[in-house]
Structure 1
Amino acid sequence: MKKLVVATFLAATALSLPAHASGEIDEATQAKITEQLTAEGYEVRRIDTEDGYFEVYALKDGKKYELYLNDAFEVVKSKSDS
């Protein structure tokens, strides 16, 4: 019985976490991030997660960027190769 309670708790906890907390980003979220950044002039190359943020590798005006977005898809930090 204890194993069932623990398993149920773990499953419920995992389902309540944000999608990117597990390191996996669903296709709809990736599409939204890509669409938003493309509209801002970026060419999105890769989307990962790091420290609770969406980490996006992109190009703009010939420069490489590493952008960090929060859950509202706002850029909270960026680094460039310049």
Structure 2
Amino acid sequence: MKTIIAAALLAATSIAVPAHASEKIDAATQTQITEQLTAEGYEVRRIDTEDGYYEVYAMKDGKKVELYLNDALEIVKSKSDS
């Protein structure tokens, strides 16, 4: 019985974790992020996850930028190369 409860708790916990909390970001989300940021003038180089955010490495106006996007794909923080 304890095994069944433990398995149920483990399954419930893994469902509650945001999809991007894992290292793998699905292709549809990567495409959406790339298209959105390209429309804003960024050249996307790499997309990762960090601290519950999508972390995007990109170029804009000849400068390297690091962008952090939330679940709604809104830029919540950015760092620039300058």
TM-score with structure 2 length normalisation?
0.91
Q: Distance in 1 between matches of 2:71 and 2:5?
A: 31
| Offset of residue 66 of structure 1 | 0.3
2:11 equivalent in structure 1: 11
For residues 1-36 of structure 1, give each alpha carbon's deviation from its aligned partner in whole angstroms, at most 9, with x where no partner exists: 211221121112212221111232111111111110
Matches within 5 A, 1:5-44: 5-44=5-44
Q: Distance in 2 between matches of 1:5 and 1:25?
A: 30
Same amino acid, percent of matched pairs = 76
Matches within 5 A, 1:52-63: 52-63=52-63
**RMSD of aligned Cα (Å):** 1.1
Any gaps of 5 or more consecutive residues in structure 1? none
Secondary structure, aligned partner of 1:72: coil
Matches within 5 A, 1:38-77: 38-77=38-77
> Which letter does structure 1 place at the counterpart of 2:51?
D
**Large movers: runs of 4+ above 6 Å:** none
User: Number of paired residues?
Assistant: 82
